[in-house]
Amino acid sequence: MVHGSEMARLRQRLPEGDDLQAAAERFRALGDPTRLKMLMALATTELCVCDLAALAGVTQTSASQHLKVLRAYDLVRFRKQGRMAVYSLREPSLLLTLAAIAPREVSPRARRSG
């Protein structure tokens, strides 16, 4: 038994087409363990590429490529600090997603400066 009026209201509230595709692609970016680990680290503090590479156990070149993907999906942002790029989460609401899927607690902490 389908509830017509309830289904019509629900359809109006749900995203469609391009919006669903964009959301799926953002989740796909979260599907890589290295990128996920980087995001979880960024949930606690700002970090430079060299620190993210060390935490993830990858080269700086590899870390940069992962960060490029995360930037493409607007999951992280960066700012220049001298010659160094310092990364942080773009949206604080991403913490809720990370906390929901993290094997350990992910919580915001005071942002490290410099």
> Tell me: the pLDDT tens digits for 53-96?
999 999 999 999 999 999 999 899 999 999 999 999 988 777 77
Task: Provide the residue range defining the domain that includes 38.
Answer: 4-101
Please report whether residue 109 resides in a domain.
no
- How many Cβ atoms sit within 10 Å of the Cβ of residue 87? 23
Tokens found for residue 108:
């915001």
The total number of structural domains that make up the chain: 1
Q: How confident is the model at residue 1 (pLDDT cuts 50, 70, 90)?
A: low
**Using an 8 Å Cβ cutoff, are 26 and 39 in contact?**
no
User: Comparing C-alpha atoms, which of 108, 101, 100, 105 is closest to residue 33?
Assistant: 101
CATH number for the domain that contains residue 96: 1.10.10.10
Q: pTM for the complete prediction?
A: 0.71
Band of residue 113 on the pLDDT scale cut at 50, 70, 90: very low
The angle subtended at Cα 58 by Cα 55 and Cα 53, nearest 5°, is 45
CA distance 55 to 69: 18
Give the strand pairing for 76-81 and 47-48. unpaired
